[in-house]
Chains A and B, each alone.
Chain A
Amino acid sequence: MVVRLDKVGLRYGPAGAEEALHALTLTVPQGGFRWLQGPSGAGKSSLLRLLYLEARPTSGRLAVLNTDIPPQGSPAARARLARLRRRIGVVFQDFRLLPHLTAFENVALPLRIAARPEGQIRADVQEILAWVGLGRRRDAHPHELSGGEQQRIAIARAVVHRPALLLADEPTGNLDDVQAERLMQLLREMNRLGTTVIVATHNESLVRRHPGPALGLEAGRLVIDDADGYYQADA
């Protein structure tokens, strides 16, 4: 299993504070696809934070890409976690682009961190920039780009290094319908090639157009784990 949670809890405050996630138990196999749904404050972003290793569980057992993640407060092999993060692609809801870098440099960052050869970096980045339709904006800084363009740069950065696990938090929030469809095609294609994909979204029409297995959260608890059938959002 690429993702395995066994009674995982997450609490941000001190002991005794209310848990953001409560006793989640779920699995996502390699090459699986999951919609992650739930109202605001349900815990979708918290679950994604656990999966891209920005936070560690306060209780339960978590394994990502077949690697056990130690809980909060226990020593962690930092270099091992860093290597693990390089196999995960993340599209953040707030993009998290580096403002002082150009679009090209932002997209190239995961490859540079992985110490890929410069020639390969250039070819891969050009290709993905062209795919998201921003080949001509490669030298623009984030503040020179529209919200939609920034989101496409964030998507390009998340997939340029062909991650084993792709996590997306509202990836179509700033995209028009055409771009959103292109993004879904990309996610489906990566999924078909073996990447495990988890997409958190409020976009019900997108889910209806691309039905698939879903996880549903409510108040930090798992209320839907539709791993076999196709979850249909309410019309």
Chain B
Amino acid sequence: MPDRADQHAARRADAADRARARALRPARRDDLGLRRALSDRLLPFLVAAMTFLAALALAGFSASSDMAASWRGAATTGVVVQIPNAGAPAASGHTTRRDAVLNALGAMRWVSAETPLSDAALADLLRPWLGAAAANLVVPLPAVVVLRLAPGSSMPADAEAALDRLAPGTMIENPGIWVTRLTRLATSLQALSFLVLLIVALIAVSVIAVATRAGLAARRQSIAIVHLLGATDGFIASRFARRLGLLCLSGAAIGALVALPVLLALGRLATPFLPAGGTSAATANLVALALLPPLAWLIGWATAQIAVRRWLARLT
């Protein structure tokens, strides 16, 4: 029993010692005086500005990607055929121009579905421009057929000529060329956004490297003393990396918070132009925005580690 009591007392004494050591330990030690040497104003401000730009570039990347997908989708669903004087006899004389064209479209392999618009649907389309008069027009309207392309197919160059032979004056509105151009534009915008991201990251690394060198210059004597007392390169570099990582993290958090309402507003404006999946793209934007502060911390930490270790290599 006395042994057990002694052990218990020893454990309590150890626990008290540990608690006392924890209580006595300064919350944040600053052996090298980096809190003063590495200001908590300029660098976080610069990182906040760069994070804001990075957030806009990310949003641009995401939006151009969504729009490219939307336009590519339009290319497969948006081919429209107009047949003037649809009720008149076709060139063959056996049927109406409308039926002749529909029969021909049904036989074409590149068409997976052809949907003629009813008069009511056509009137609905015209209502925004003509109002209630759209349903009672005296002028004859062409018949309109919306085509869906077969998967992997494109419209042949002679398709319009083939339909024109059956029903002269029939036109095919093919958005393919525009879709190709717009897709190319979207791809260029994506590349541009990526380039902006890359430039922002390079500027961030440069700014942090300059700040690190300024800190090293300001604390040259302290570093030399700590080095002579036996501090390893890792000990010194970790102090710089911790401080610079923290400054970058706080700056990036501010930049991300400022960018958040801007991204939400831009997302709301872009919603009508995006496909149905646009909401998930907005979520991806928010996730990317949330990842910017930890990324900034990592860039700050790693840049400081490399810059300080290279500088220390000159010491004996």
If A98-B222, A100-B33, A114-B230 touch, does A54 touch B316 (CB 8 Å cutoff)?
Answer: yes
Check if A112 is an interface residue, CB within 8 A of chain B: yes
- Are A109 and B24 touching (Cβ within 8 A)? no
Query: Could you say which residues of chain B place their CB within 8 Å of the CB of A82?
Result: 227, 230-233
Residue B31 is within 8 A (CB to CB) of chain A in the complex: yes
Bound Cα distance from A202 to B306, whole angstroms? 44
**Digit string of B4-33 for contact with A (CB within 8 Å is 1, else 0)?**
000000000000011011101100011111
What CA separation (Å) do A9 and B156 show in the bound complex? 89
Residues of B contacting A235 in the complex (Cβ-Cβ under 8 angstroms): none
Rounded to whole angstroms, the CA-CA distance of A167 and B234 in the bound complex is: 26
| Residue in B32, B230, B231, B235 with the greatest tally of chain A CB atoms within 10 Å | B230
Given contacts A52-B228, A113-B235, contact A98 B31 (CB under 8 A): yes
CB atoms of B24 and A122 under 8 A apart: yes
Task: Assess whether A56 is interfacial by the CB under 8 Å rule.
Answer: yes
Interface size of B by CB at 8 A reads: 28
User: Does residue A233 face the partner (Cβ distance < 8 Å to B)?
Assistant: no
Query: Which of A17-25, A35-43, A83-91, A172-180 participates in binding chain B?
Result: A83-91
In the bound assembly, the distance between CA atoms of A118 and B231 in angstroms comes to: 17
Give chain A interface residues in 63-119, CB to chain B under 8 Å.
76, 78-79, 81-88, 90, 96, 98-101, 105, 109-110, 112-114, 117-119
Which of chain B's residues have a CB closer than 8 A to the CB of A157?
A: 229
- Within the assembled complex, what's the spacing in Å between the Cα atoms of A113 and B229? 8
A83-B222 contact, Cβ under 8 Å, with A117-B21, A118-B21, A118-B25: no
Query: Are A56 and B231 in contact, CB atoms less than 8 angstroms apart?
Result: no
Q: Tell me the B211-245 residues at the A interface (CB within 8 Å).
A: 221-222, 225-235
- Give the B-binding residues of A (Cβ under 8 A): 52-56, 76, 78-79, 81-88, 90, 96, 98-101, 105, 109-110, 112-114, 117-119, 122, 157
